[in-house]
Amino acid sequence: MEGNGQVVAREGPADLTVTIVEGTPPVVVLAGEVDLATAPEFEKALLSLLSQGRDSLAVDLGRVTYLDSTGINVLMKAVKLCSERGGKLAIVAASERAMRVMRLLNLDRVMPIRQSAPMP
């Protein structure tokens, strides 16, 4: 990630914190549960960045404690939108629980997943 790493937004329901860290590409950092109740905030953050003309995004799932099909659908939608713009979506960190779900669904074949330390 290049750029100043400035945190530009924090939002979300009590069970999920969504933080956007500016950079190239911007990183959407999630902490908590990504499910039917919280996935709309995650999607809102991704769509907001894409509407600003970004074509590539990174997502940090290092502090995700639960990830269901709703969260996976948000990720897949973002992968498609980034691809249509000539960019890509990459996972830069994933908790053990999130990684287990992504491996079961073979998502490592659809998007790059780099295991690194979660963003602070």
User: Which CATH number goes with the domain that contains 89?
Assistant: 3.30.750.24
Distance (Å, whole) CA 112 – CA 89: 7
Can you give the residue range of the structural domain that contains 77? 9-109
**24 strand-pairing partners:** 2
Identify whether 2 is part of a domain. no
pTM attached to this predicted model = 0.84
User: Which tens digits make up the pLDDT trace of 60-109?
Assistant: 999 999 999 999 999 999 999 999 999 999 999 999 999 999 999 999 88
User: Which tens digits make up the pLDDT trace of 12-54?
Assistant: 556 899 999 999 899 999 999 999 999 999 999 999 999 999 9
Q: Which residue has the tokens 């290049």?
A: 2
Identify whether 83 is part of a domain. yes
Identify whether 67 is part of a domain. yes
Identify whether 20 is part of a domain. yes
pLDDT band of 1, cuts 50, 70, 90: very low
Identify whether 117 is part of a domain. no
Number of structural domains found in the chain: 1
Identify whether 46 is part of a domain. yes
